[in-house]
Amino acid sequence: MKEHIVTGAAGARLRVLEHSPEKAPTVVLVHGLSLNAGVWDPLVARIQNSFRILAPDLRGHGRSDVPEDDTYALSRTWAEDLAAVISLAGPGPVVLVAWSYGGLVATDFLRTYGQSGLSGLVLVSPLRKIGSADALALLGPDFLATAGGLTSTDLGEAVPAAGAFVDLLRAGDWDQATRERLLGAVLAVPPRVRAAILGRVDDGDEVLAELTIPTRIIYGSDDTVIIPAAFAELDTIIAAATVTAYPGVGHIPFVENPTRFDTELTEFVGTLSSATAAVR
């Protein structure tokens, strides 16, 4: 594993973890709200011999900078941050895998930079709009009930809300060690960062409707963070999409059904790599 520091929007320093082999197809993994690149560790351990993986800590998360400004509210911020990460891949196209809030970051990138640098897109339980009545309607009531605590500076409210958030991520129970690790990641993110992100107003549907690159949507049928109907709608919004629901799975399919997820991701990237090689 290598650790890189790239410079994102407004000079923010972002940590990116790279897993070899370097000459393999490049996959960029974008995590969700309140977590960090470590959420991908189980997936990385399983696929790192097949792909070159770049996994950033988003601004305000993990070991990346935590700016004390209003940059979190701007689509261009997240676009420039992700562009800085993708630049590590070099000239070849990459496959972008974006989970949860990472889905909105993906639309931020696509809005600003387009899709020409991507060979494919995998959206896992993606958030695609935020800050409107339509966006709120796509969130599960249990997640909405935690939002106030997640943005509170009162530890008596913040800690139980963080625990509830972690528990909502999967349909079943976490093992204790994993739950504690995820809880620590959530609590390490300042409440003001979550408040700024949750206060964003953005809608990625128009961006997604313009996609022509191969796109996979993977979600759990028992998701309680974002309602499953929000993901099923993407089948009509994105003409290039294949949408797959995992029965009995919650918001984190790559952890809850690793065998199926690994197989589908490997096949998807393999197909794209074969197509690229044929063109060359």
Q: Residue 246 has what pLDDT?
A: 98
101-113 and 75-86 helices, crossing angle to 10°: 80
Please report whether residue 123 resides in a domain. yes
Residue 1 has pLDDT above 70, yes or no: yes
Q: What is the CATH number of the domain that holds 105?
A: 3.40.50.1820
- Domain membership flag for residue 157: no
H/E segment holding residue 30: strand 26-30
Nearest to 61 by CA among 211, 184, 225, 202: 184
Extract the tokens encoding 17.
């973890």
| Residue 238 resides in a domain | yes
Q: Which residues contact 16 (CB under 8 A, 6 or more apart)?
A: 3, 4, 5, 6, 37, 54, 55, 56, 57, 85, 88
- Arithmetic mean of pLDDT, 162-169: 98
What is the pTM assigned to this prediction?
0.97
Q: Is residue 141, in this structure, part of any structural domain at all? A: no
Q: What is the pLDDT of residues 3-61, one digit of tens each?
A: 999 999 999 999 999 998 878 999 999 999 999 999 999 999 999 999 999 999 999 99
The model's pLDDT over 176-214, given as tens digits with 9 standing for 90+, comes to: 999 999 999 999 999 999 999 999 999 999 999 999 999
Residue 185's nearest CA partner among 67, 62, 99 is: 62
Q: Is residue 187 assigned to a domain?
A: no
Q: What is the pLDDT of residue 274?
A: 63
Domain hosting residue 256, numbered range: 2-128+202-279
275 band by pLDDT with thresholds 50, 70 and 90: low
Tell me whether residue 133 is in a domain.
no
| Start-to-end C-alpha separation, the chain | 30
Tally of structural domains, the chain: 1
Which tens digits make up the pLDDT trace of 114-158? 999 999 999 999 999 999 999 999 999 999 999 999 999 999 999
pLDDT score recorded for residue 279: 41
With contact defined as beta carbons under 8 Å apart, do 234 and 123 qualify?
yes
Look at residue 175 and tell me if it is in a domain.
no
Query: With pLDDT > 90 as the criterion, what percentage of the chain qualifies?
Result: 93
- 3-state secondary structure at position 135: helix
Asked if the structure places residue 76 within a domain, the reply is yes
Rounded to an integer, what distance in angstroms lies between the CA atom of residue 162 and that of residue 68?
A: 22
Give 239-254 pLDDT, tens digit per residue. Answer: 989 999 999 999 999 9
